[in-house]
Amino acid sequence: MNLILLGAPGAGKGTQARLLVEKRKMQQLSTGDMLREARSSGTEMGQRVAAVMDRGELVTDEIVIGLIAEKLDSGSEGGFIFDGFPRTLAQADALADLLAAKGQAIDAVIEMRVEDEVLVDRVSGRFTCGNCGEVWHDKTRPTKVEGVCDACGSTDLRRRPDDNAESLRQRLMEYYKKTSPLLGYYHAKGSLHVVNGLAPVSDVETAISGVLEAAG
C-alpha cells in the first residue's frame, strides 16, 4: 500500500504519518525531514537549500526527486507514506515513473483539508521532540513539564525556523500555486479522498484507516 498525504503546512500530515508507521508498519518518507537532516548534518546540498526553506519556498524538483528515488530503492514491506512529496506536478509524474519501474503504484491519495486561519495557529505554536519526533503545541498540546518531552523525557525540543507567520504565508502561497493542482490530477486518476483535518487526531486517523481499507 503506497499512500500520499496531501495538505497545507500544519494540516496534520506528519502526525498521521507517525500513527500509520506505528500501526501499519508503513515507512514514512518526508522530504521536509530529509532536507532538515541534510541541513543539520551540514551537507553541501543542505547548505544550498537552507535559505530557500527558511523563506518558505520550494526547493528544486531535481533535489527532492533524487532524495525520494534513493529511499525507494530500499523498499518497504508495509508500503510508503509520502508526506510532503510530491508538491508539484513534475514531482507527481516522477513518483509515478519511479514506482512503475518497481511494478508499483500509488494506491490512495488523501487530502487533509484545514482552513488557513487554523493553520496559522497550529504552525506558530508547534514544536517537536528532536529525539522521538513527538509533536507538541504551546496551547493545544503542551508538555506536562515545560521543556521536557512527555513521550521520551528528552529536553531536545525544537521549533522549525520556517514555522513563523511570514514563512507560513509564503508556504501557503506555494501550496496553492504549485501543490494544489495535484488535487485535480489525483481526482482525475480516481485516487483522491478528502478527510476533514479539523477533526480530532483520532477521528482523522479513523477516516484514513477507512480509506486504506477500501483501497487495500
Residue nearest to ligand AMP (CB): 32
User: Dihedral of the CA atoms 208, 199, 10, 3 (nearest 10)?
Assistant: 10
Active-site position among 36, 87, 122, 178 = 87
Question: In the complex, what is the shortest distance from the CB of residue 50 to ligand AMP, in angstroms, rounded to a whole number?
Answer: 10
Nearest to ligand AMP of 17, 208 (CB atom): 17
Q: Which of 6, 11, 19, 59 binds ligand AMP (CB under 6 A)?
A: 59
Question: Catalytic annotation on 126?
Answer: yes
Taking CB under 6 A as the rule, does residue 109 contact ligand AMP?
no
| Shortest Cβ 56–ligand AMP spacing (Å) | 5
171 part of the active site: yes
Cα separation of 162 and 39, whole Å?
13
Among residues 6, 35, 112, 172, the one that binds ligand AMP under rule CB under 6 A: 35
Q: Which of 11, 17, 79, 85 binds ligand AMP (CB under 6 A)?
A: 85
Q: For ligand AMP, which residue of 3, 20, 64, 72 counts as binding (CB under 6 A)? A: 64
28 binds ligand AMP, rule: CB under 6 A: no
What is the closest distance, in whole angstroms, from the C-beta atom of residue 127 to ligand AMP in the complex?
Answer: 14
Interface positions, 150-179, toward ligand AMP (CB under 6 A): 162, 171
Candidates 18-26, 49-57, 128-136, 141-149; binding stretch for ligand AMP (CB under 6 A): 49-57
Binding segment (CB under 6 A) for ligand AMP, from list 82-90, 113-121, 189-197, 202-210: 82-90
User: Which three cell numbers, joined as nine digits, stand for 157?
Assistant: 525540543
Where do we find the cell 551540514?
A: 42
Q: What is the 3-state secondary structure (H, E, C) of the chain?
A: CCEEEECCCCCCHHHHHHHHHHHHCCEEEEHHHHHHHHHHCCCHHHHHHHHHHHHCCCCCHHHHHHHHHHHHHHCCCCCEEEECCCCCHHHHHHHHHHHHCCCCCCCEEEEEECCHHHHHHHHHCEEEECCCCCEEECCCECCCCCCCCCCCCCCCEECCCCCCHHHHHHHHHHHHHHHCHHHHHHHHCCCEEEEECCCCHHHHHHHHHHHHHHHC
Among all residues, which ones are annotated catalytic?
Answer: 13, 87, 126, 160, 171
Residues in touch with ligand AMP (CB under 6 A): 9, 31-32, 35, 52-53, 56-59, 64, 84-85, 87, 91, 162, 171
